[in-house]
Amino acid sequence: MTATVRSAEQKLPSTLALGPATALVVGHTIGVGIFLTPAELIGTLASPALTFALWLVCGLGALAGALTFGDLASRYPQAGGPYVYLREGWGDSIAFLYGWQSILIMDPGVTAALAVGLAQYVGVLWPAAAGHDRWVAVAGIWLLAAFSMTGFTLSARTLATITAMKVLAFAAVVAAAFASPAGRWEHFEPFVDRAVSSVPLGQALAIGLVSAFFSFGGFWEASRVAGDVEDAPRVLRRALAIGIATVAVIYVAMTCAFIYVVPVRDVTSAADFARLAGEAMFGARGAAILAAIVVLSVLSSALAQQLADE
């Protein structure tokens, strides 16, 4: 939380260029739900057209938010992000309350949620860890915290590397889906009309909207490190916009890949859909491969959270 109270007058050297700043946005935003959320939307909405439309609506909304935070960062290029904006707009008292709720609730809660998700997928890769989620999660938090203590610059470079690796892994999943012999363009039919679903349309749209919205959550945390970004008024605005656009493309591509290998009508649950997609793409090793990619994704997201908290 030191980022929220660091004074702009300290003149710390700026170390983040456009690439690492964009990696912070992408790395933080895409976390444990990279496979489950697209699968959940497909199963709930039971219509490819509605699924893509929801991604588009939420993506545009997130892009508007990213541009807003980019403008705020250009006006107040200081470390702290929302803390600074609340202080300038509403005064010290509101900013003070936000700072403490970040320290005591929001930041620990996000970190804990990521660690729990990490532990569950580690159990898939390492059966000996199954049933010990609590200890795996705690160990993961301490390891990331210890690594963050090595310095902001090294952490930022490592984050950029891990984020690039996970984006390449996502691209590999999409390529594997469209190369799979189980894939059929007929799986997108019916494209507009809904397949048989137990969820009424209104309820499905509400559930899907919440899931898609949370999938884009967290991009604003990049504004916390504005004081460490080179030419923050220009670079951070571009990083936020490029980052959200990249996230939206990844979610849409993953959704296309899943529908291509598994028909919408075969969906019973998000977990089963992801499992079937993994098996169609990679055979019996599908679950382990997807779990490894999720672990990589969560590590990137958790490290980005640690970086924003410094």
Residue 49: half-sphere exposure toward Cβ, Cα within 13 Å: 7
Taking only the tens place, the pLDDT of each residue in 70-83 is: 888 888 888 888 88
Supply the range of the domain harboring residue 222: 2-309
Q: What CATH number is given to the structural domain containing 115? A: 1.20.1740.10
Q: What is the dihedral of CA 267, 268, 274, 277, to 10 degrees?
A: -40
pTM for the structure as a whole: 0.85
Residue range 229-244: mean pLDDT, rounded = 86
**Whole-Å CA distances, 308 to 81, 85, 119:** 9, 16, 22
Q: Is pLDDT of 21 > 80?
A: yes
Residue 167: which pLDDT band, with cuts at 50, 70 and 90? very high
**Are the C-beta atoms of 270 and 40 separated by less than 8 Å?**
yes
Query: Rounded to an integer, what distance in angstroms lies between the CA atom of residue 213 and that of residue 79?
Result: 26
Query: Rounded to an integer, what distance in angstroms lies between the CA atom of residue 252 and that of residue 42?
Result: 11
Q: Is pLDDT of 1 > 60?
A: no
Taking only the tens place, the pLDDT of each residue in 82-94 is: 889 999 989 999 9
**Are the C-beta atoms of 218 and 137 separated by less than 8 Å?**
no
**Are the C-beta atoms of 18 and 238 separated by less than 8 Å?**
yes
Count structural domains, the chain. 1
Taking only the tens place, the pLDDT of each residue in 87-123 is: 998 999 999 998 898 888 888 888 888 888 888 888 7
Query: Rounded to an integer, what distance in angstroms lies between the CA atom of residue 223 and that of residue 232?
Result: 9
Q: Tell me what the pLDDT averaged over the chain comes to.
A: 83
